[in-house]
Amino acid sequence: MAQTLAAFLKAQSAPESLKGLIAGIADGCVRISHAVRQGATADMLGTAGDTNVQGEVQKTLDLAADDIMIDVCRAAPGVVAAASEEQDGIVPVAQAGPHEGWLVLFDPLDGSSNIEVNVSIGTIFSVLPAPMVETPRDPVAEDFFQPGRDQVAAGYVVYGPQTLLVFTLGDGAFGFTLEPVSGEWVLTHDRIAVPAETKEFAINASNQRHWHEPVQRYIADCLAGTTGPRGKDFNMRWVASMVADVNRIMMRGGVFMYPADRKDPSKPGRLRLMYEAAPMAMVMEQAGGAASDGTKALLDVVPDALHQRVPVMLGSKAEIETLLTYG
């Protein structure tokens, strides 16, 4: 009998409140998966009529998933504050004090552009330690400005043909599939190991005219095939849901890129550091892969804003090393 998430968590040495939080997030994602699967039958498709702090139109499911994740944070013991793609500022839950506590960040629904077309979407989460302070005080946004390296847990759920939870507590990455009849999360991917080499890349090629020169050269070499400098034929995949693209790479290797480009010089890439890039980077590193912003490990980037964007290059370790030689 395969191990359940509950049995797996019980056997981990992490603090009880952190394990409780992971179990709560997993439960919340089961609720989100139900909303995803209801689709048009429960008016779950379409827009909600508002925009988020980054100017994106919010979908009904973006907000439904956000509500569920905030509920999870309010119910889980030890959570001091939450932050979300869909919330301008932090959501205070409890006071920071002279005790252990958690700050939770999430992208409640990743890949919103794929909702209406029934393509895989997901949820991404990151857990940071709350500051321990002698005199209890309310949490502030600055408490969250810790590098990804400080995360105590990170993971994602893909709502695809299977509902799959992949997470790390800092000692390997593990995948649990939601068994549809029992509703139980079952360990199906034990200590995921991302192949170091690959012949597959993921990038939104419609931005090619905006790319900087090193990205142009790297992709050109991939496309040159067996007679080019890379000496092999590359395949390309782009789901346009980061969770689905990164999950594919977790399972069979590959490289995922959302670089900074010349399209809008005020934006260093499209993806958000704290609830997209950093948690995916931790999971990827824990599975033996690599994650970089082009100059340094993504996990070493120190945030100074909740919604800041960052260039992302992650995946098979040897391929990321090759990519970084392009400058």
| Contacting range for ligand AHG; rule: CB under 6 A; set: 65-73, 130-138, 183-191, 234-242 | 234-242
CA angle 60, 117, 47 (to 5 degrees): 20
Give CA–CA dist 178/1, Å, rounded: 15
Give CA–CA dist 165/50, Å, rounded: 29
**Residue 90 C-beta: closest distance to ligand AHG, Å:** 18
Q: One symbol per residue from 57 to 86: x for binding ligand AHG (CB under 6 A), - otherwise; what is it? A: ----------------------------x-
Nearest to 94 by CA among 139, 128, 143, 140: 139
DSSP at 144: G
Per CB under 6 A, 270 contacts ligand AHG: yes
The entry of Mn ion, ligand AHG, none that residue 241 binds, CB within 5 to 8 Å by partner kind: ligand AHG
Helices 16-38 + 60-75 axis angle, to 10: 160
> Is 315 assigned a ligand-binding role in the annotation?
no
Enumerate residues 6+ apart whose C-beta is below 8 A from 149.
297, 299, 300
> Is 276 assigned a ligand-binding role in the annotation?
yes
> Is 138 assigned a ligand-binding role in the annotation?
no
Q: Which residue matches tokens 């179990």? A: 23
> Is 247 assigned a ligand-binding role in the annotation?
no
Give CA–CA dist 308/319, Å, rounded: 26
> Is 107 assigned a ligand-binding role in the annotation?
yes
Number of residues near ligand AHG (by CB under 6 A): 12
| Contacting range for ligand AHG; rule: CB under 6 A; set: 11-19, 105-113, 166-174, 292-300 | 105-113
> Is 316 assigned a ligand-binding role in the annotation?
no
Q: Where do contacts with Mn ion occur on this chain (CB under 5 A)? A: 56, 85, 107, 109-110
Please, are residues 51 and 104 in contact by the beta-carbon 8 Å criterion?
Answer: no
Binding site for ligand AHG (CB under 6 A): 56, 85, 107, 110-113, 204, 240-242, 270
Q: Residues marked as binding for Mg(2+)?
A: 85, 107, 109-110, 276
Q: Residues marked as binding?
A: 85, 107, 109-113, 204, 276
